[in-house]
Amino acid sequence: MFDSVLIANRGEIALRIVRACKALSLRTIAIHSEADADLRHVALADQALCIGPAPSRQSYLDMDRMITAARLTGAQAVHPGYGFLSENAAFATALRDAGLQFIGPSPEVMALMGDKISAKAAMLKSGVPCVPGFDQALPDEVGELERIADAIGYPLIIKAAAGGGGRGMRIVRTRGDLRQAAQITREEAGRFFGKEDIYLEKFLEHPRHIEIQVLADAHGHAIWLGERDCSIQRRNQKLLEEAPAVGIDRQRIADLGQICVRACLDIGYQGVGTFEFLYENGAFFFMEMNTRIQVEHPVTEMLTGVDLVAEQIKVALGQPLTLTQQCVAPSGHAIECRLNAEDPWTFAPLPGRIQAWVAPGGPGVRVDTHLYPGYEVPAHYDSLIAKLIVHGSSRQQAIARMRVALSELMVDGLATNAALFAALLQNGDFQAGGMEIAALERLLATGVLKQGGSV
């Protein structure tokens, strides 16, 4: 049990968590770096503490400072948000050792799902469909490596077992490229993720990214809350998410949801989580599980009316789920656009000071943001500045509402990628729905979006 929560994050998600905690009458403690003293949630939290300089390594990624901050402020629980330490099993262990409650699954489950090789093994055991591949750490020896790869067939993708954020992956199209690709990925894996283990699986040429939201308590109850289609990506990073997924049989998705629920119970999962799948030719293939709240969680909240962050906290408080699978009735259509402080066409980050900021409104429109006029977007962190989320009774209405919302949005002093979304919403392929992951980059390469896109 706890009645105070330290928010180990920044930006829009830290604000989102402060709001959820306050609604549950929990005391909130904001921590921040020297660059972030002016953040909105810092002003709104019951207490705030600066924990270090701007670079994340010395602030938001520093476990010792987090734990010291919790001790100094008397916090009893820690909400990790997304990114930073949110999927770090060592952090969850350190909190447990310090007598603090981590708002998320157990460190053991985080470690199991944080390593893509052990995650895949656990999922196969629970009957979750996975991308065909060699589901152990790859050997060094070239002959053996070639035999394994030949048996699966090209093209292949080599991945770091501990990888994340779209990094530590390499596509291999021919046998001749295998050895070098394995070598480079192994080096990167060691350098970026501190673990050299790599594995390989079939590379799917035209997949969509479909994910299932789950929620599980500590009393053996788990439910799924629909899917999200996150196929609109650039460089393996999501830009626009929507639900429900267009053109996929509802029963197939419901079956997949039930499989995910069973897998949660099998591994002893607690809290909110997301099973990520590739979808190609009518089949789903598990990629990984995110053991935390995700950026795109509002899409599901708009569709179901469930406050996922509040549910996550209640589970950590030891409360049994009051929601049953029958209560979850997604309705209508929701879309989220990730507004980034970046050039819409080159994706180069463009930090700066907000001179004017007017958020859109109206029925079915939600804006999750920490921005306000005068706020300076620091260069040290992710470029996400706001999430525009709309809900409509149909996909067509949701698209129309997003179009209006984008036209109302006013950001002065900072460049954003709003023009990209405005152009995309007008594009025929997007309007038809069901675009594959690679489609946005193909459209960008042709230049059609840029020509058509002004807000």
Residues serving a catalytic function are 292
162 forms part of the interface with ligand ADP (CB under 6 A) = no
Q: Is the preceding peptide bond at 155 cis, omega within 30 degrees of 0?
A: yes
Amino acid identity of residue 275, one-letter, is F
How many CA atoms does the CB half-sphere of 258 hold within 13 Å? 7
Q: List CB contacts of 255: < 8 A, sequence separation 6 or more.
A: none
User: What are the C-alpha distances in Å from 440 to residues 156, 266, 374, 406?
Assistant: 22, 37, 33, 19
Q: Nearest 5 degrees, angle CA 185-CA 191-CA 193?
A: 85
Closest by CA to 202, choosing from 135, 156, 158, 249, is 156
Q: Among 134, 203, 381, 421, indicate the residue that binds ligand ADP (CB under 6 A).
A: 203
Site string for ligand ADP, 204-243 (x = CB under 6 A): x--x-x--------------------------x-------
- Tell me the closest approach of the beta carbon of residue 238 to ligand ADP, in angstroms: 8
Site string for ligand ADP, 247-286 (x = CB under 6 A): -----------------------------x-x--------
Pick the piece of the chain touching ligand ADP (CB under 6 A) from 29-37, 69-77, 199-207, 341-349: 199-207
CB 387 within 8 A of CB 295: yes
153 lies in the binding site for ligand ADP (CB under 6 A): no
Is there binding between residue 129 and ligand ADP (CB under 6 A)? no
Q: Is 289 in the site for ligand ADP (CB under 6 A)?
A: no
Smallest separation (angstroms) from ligand ADP to the CB of 135: 12
Should residue 288 be labelled a site residue for ligand ADP when binding is judged by CB under 6 A?
yes
**Among 270, 223, 292, 421, residue whose Cα is nearest residue 16:** 292
Position 366 contacts ligand ADP (CB under 6 A) = no
Q: Which is nearer to ligand ADP, 36 or 288 (CB)?
A: 288
Sequence-ordered alpha helix ranges (H) in 225-381: 250-267, 297-304, 308-316
SS (H, E, C) 172-212: ECCHHHHHHHHHHHHHHHHHHHCCCCEEEEECCCCCEEEEE
Measured from the CB atom, the residue of 111 and 390 that comes closer to ligand ADP is 111
The rounded distance, in Å, linking the Cα atoms of 447 and 455 is 17
Q: What one-character-per-residue DSSP string does 386-431 give?
A: EEEEEEESSHHHHHHHHHHHHHH-EEESS--SHHHHHHHHH-HHHH
* Beta carbon of residue 124, minimum distance to ligand ADP (angstroms, whole number): 15
CB 273 within 8 A of CB 293: no
Write down the least CB distance from residue 405 to ligand ADP, Å: 26
Smallest distance from ligand ADP to CB 288, Å: 5
Residue 201 is a binding residue for ligand ADP (CB under 6 A): yes
Q: Is-contact 74 4, C-beta < 8 A?
A: yes
Per-residue contact string for residues 84-113; x = within reach of ligand ADP by CB under 6 A: ------------------------------
Report the residue number whose CB is nearest to ligand ADP.
204
Neighbours of 396 (CB within 10 A): 11
Site string for ligand ADP, 411-450 (x = CB under 6 A): --------------------------x-------------
If binding means CB under 6 A, how many residues of this protein chain bind ligand ADP? 20
Instruction: Using CB under 6 A, pick the residue from 158, 287, 367, 418 that binds ligand ADP.
Output: 287
Among the candidate windows 5-13, 89-97, 203-211, 412-420, which touches ligand ADP by CB under 6 A? Answer: 203-211
Residue 311, interface with ligand ADP (CB under 6 A)?
no
Per-residue tokens: 79: 């909400």
Q: What is the DSSP string of 59-104?
A: TTT-HHHHHHHHHHHT--EEE--SSTTTT-HHHHHHHHHTT-EESS
Residues that bind ligand ADP (CB under 6 A): 131, 157, 163-167, 169, 201-204, 207, 209, 236, 276, 278, 287-288, 437
